[in-house]
Amino acid sequence: MAEDSERTQTPIIFAPDTYQYDKFSLEESQLAEDPIDQFAKWFAEARADKSETLPEAINFASAELPSGRVSSRVLLFKELDHRGFTIYSNWGTSKKAHDIKTNPHAAITFFWKDLQRQVRIEGFTEHVNRETSERYFKTRPRGSKVGAWSSPQSHVIKDRQELNALAKKNEERFEGVADIPCPDYWGGLRVVPLEIEFWQGRPNRLHDRFSYTRKSEHDPWIRVRLAP
């Protein structure tokens, strides 16, 4: 049985000489005192880099309790303030909604390949107020608004036709409605950071890593360099 398992394994192909992280370095003297300010600087540089076609893409990880089972997915980061990082989604039926209800902690990862940079964020979550969610919902394309009303996100459906029928029903429901309202279960979730790590790729895996940590949102940030 072990031999069969070994025969079916896909080989791992990795040629480190073909791609080295060698564009930039990161020194403590370059860092802002506040990690939110530092992130804003790096994010602006990622948006300005034409090779970074989707700089707002994030991996959003959550964990269900009491099992501790972790799940992750790629989402789009939407808003930043000095309190934290906000995403928008379905918080009624989605898997991440269930996770957050049982465990308010979450993690976000940004990776900008061309800049050879990564930012990791860990913290606790909170739902933004209704006014903020409705404000953002108004900026979405009409089709996305109808989609938010139509998809029982993460629930089992029979086939594509069932989803199309739900969308058609809501298209008819909101026919002639210029301002489609935001569903009660849909809105913003903010990750309030307790740790933000900035990673700058360097040759030979000797990367530069700096972590800002605090025990609570009311504590000052402590910054340290981490071994790669």
The residues assigned a catalytic role are: 205
Q: Which residue has the tokens 């993460």?
A: 154
Task: Report the helix count and the strand count for the chain, using DSSP H and E.
Answer: 6, 9
Query: 210 and 28 in contact (C-beta within 8 Å)?
Result: yes
To 5 degrees, how large is the angle CA 99–CA 101–CA 103? 65
C-alpha distances in Å from residue 187, one per residue of 63, 126, 130, 138: 20, 11, 7, 11
CA nearest to 137, candidates 96, 85, 180:
180
Rg of the chain's alpha carbons, rounded to an integer?
A: 21
CA angle 140, 122, 66 (to 5 degrees): 95
- Residue 195's nearest CA partner among 47, 85, 78 is 85
Backbone angles phi, psi at 224, to 5 degrees: -140, 155
Helix, strand, coil distribution of the chain in percent, nearest 5: 30, 30, 40
